[in-house]
Structure 1
């Protein structure tokens, strides 16, 4: 049997904000923020999850807090540290893809204790925007032995500064990480003109155990030192892409926590990567099939995987395999 002894929970550190989603005809307010979405996704997938963020005790902050706690995310009381909750205006194009305009403040006035978490995750603006970014880096570098670190840079160029400085920060943090997920757009911004395979190689050379790159409708690539696989996205009708990458990240972390913990991430082979990648892709497929960052439960992902397996079987009999 797999060795899953020890803590299986997650600590997520990063921004929570109110998304204002403009679809061209109306604006919908929806709680978001990449790290907060990951925390929500982990909790909905059954992982005991704690979030340290930065909110205000205003209407937006209370709405975000309610959404998180309703899905069993434990939000640190120290997170209520702002005068006004941050916002992000997401303008959707005809394909459902979002462009963002942010009004955000990020700081961590109190120390963050890892506690009993088996993994610490952070990402996006929290990794780069001061004064909070320095505190995040300290937590990641000082996490207890045996605790995994996962990262998602989720690059927001308008907020995080000059490319070479951001790349240096990212690589310094990645060198402490066990799991790194980035999008093909993140990779292109950080390493202009470099093939995606080369970016994954860079991450593995920095010491990352499991590196993953999402490619929107083209699926994802997962790589370790031992293997590399591609997984396709689910064939779904896309309502919008808000939260898709965060869903993939949450599901990937949940899968890593549920693996045989006697196996090093560096040693994961094709079958392991396919299992992790298909689970994450199925979760992301559920999210993009509905409006907003409405991340799925484990039951919803299971149903999506079952439907995908039926379609794979059907296509395989016709000579075409989806995954």
Structure 2
């Protein structure tokens, strides 16, 4: 299978502890969710991650390949598959505590992928982060980047901000949450965050704001896309769903990057917001299929 998208990043098992005391284990990791979400929307995707040949690693591989994700053989590189304790509050918000390793003993192969996506822990945690940066700096493919800041795992704050800015400079698309923006640029308004990121060179900058929707900015054009009003079960995977949907729409309509307009940015933002709204109505990172997203938009 020829992959339209190469996703590079961590995959892990989320040990989900809910407010009612129940505990379950589910496949997680921001890049893994993006790969899964792309495959569910019909995009050919190859995923280079770091797994161990243990029960949890097998479970992750089965979930991804079961949806059609091509798992790079070099992904089998760890002694134990990583985990994250996800504590879900009464309002559905998730707090994470991680036990993971991120290393890439083999450099990911971009091949003929149209777009390379990286995000979250994989972009910051050594020794794998330097390999990721090397790959992104050396490719002619489109690059999308979602920092998905996990401050507890980051090294020196100044070093993390510097790496974010270097990656933003080689990316075509940067998607971050309002919380990411506040961590990276304390005291800045969202407009100032967008302007700061845009000066690094990405063609599209997106800031998601949970239930308040998202801001999309390209070539001096900014749109504010509302989020559908829904009943939230939990927010696990919402940002990753938005990212996967955004990538899918950009691959389907590359003119959005070439000649952004209010209508074009609004259309891709509305699709991504509708996708995220479906995920938050479900328990866990149960990302939607393209048909479900289209139906939600039409409704």
Fold-level match, TM-score > 0.5? yes
Q: What secondary structure sits across from 2:111 in the alignment? A: coil
Single out whichever of 12-21 and 228-237 deviates more from structure 2: 228-237
Give the match for residue 72 of structure 2: 76
The question of whether the paired residues in 2 share the 8 Å contact of 1:96 and 1:238 is answered with yes
Q: Distance in 1 between matches of 2:267 and 2:63?
A: 30
Give the match for residue 295 of structure 1: 287
Give the match for residue 122 of structure 1: 118
Which of the numbers 227, 233, 248 marks the counterpart of 2:242? 248
The question of whether the paired residues in 2 share the 8 Å contact of 1:225 and 1:266 is answered with no
The residue correspondences of 1:8-157 to structure 2 (distance < 5 A) are 9-24=4-19, 25-144=21-140, 147-157=141-151
Residue 269 in structure 1 maps to residue 265 in structure 2: no
The alpha-carbon deviation at position 295 of structure 1 amounts to: 0.5
TM-score by length of 2: 0.97
Stretches of 4+ aligned residues off by more than 3 angstroms: none
Q: Deviations over 1:85-125 (max 9, x none)?
A: 00011111111000000001000001211011100000000
The alpha-carbon deviation at position 264 of structure 1 amounts to: 6.5
Give the match for residue 177 of structure 1: 171
Q: Distance in 2 between matches of 1:36 and 1:241?
A: 16
The residue correspondences of 1:203-214 to structure 2 (distance < 5 A) are 203-214=197-208
TM-score by length of 1: 0.90
The question of whether the paired residues in 2 share the 8 Å contact of 1:16 and 1:35 is answered with yes
Give the match for residue 282 of structure 1: 274
Q: Which runs of 5+ in 1 are unaligned?
A: 1-6, 308-323
The alpha-carbon deviation at position 198 of structure 1 amounts to: 0.8
Q: Distance in 2 between matches of 1:206 and 1:32?
A: 30
Q: What secondary structure sits across from 1:271 in the alignment? A: helix
Cα distance change, pair 8–131 in 1 and its aligned pair in 2 (3 A): closer
The alpha-carbon deviation at position 267 of structure 1 amounts to: 3.1
Q: Deviations over 1:251-270 (max 9, x none)?
A: 001111010x3x36263110
Q: What secondary structure sits across from 1:85 in the alignment? A: coil
Single out whichever of 7-16 and 130-139 deviates more from structure 2: 7-16
Give the match for residue 235 of structure 1: 229
Number of aligned positions between the proteins: 297
The question of whether the paired residues in 1 share the 8 Å contact of 2:9 and 2:121 is answered with yes
Give the match for residue 318 of structure 1: none
Q: Which runs of 5+ in 2 are unaligned?
A: none
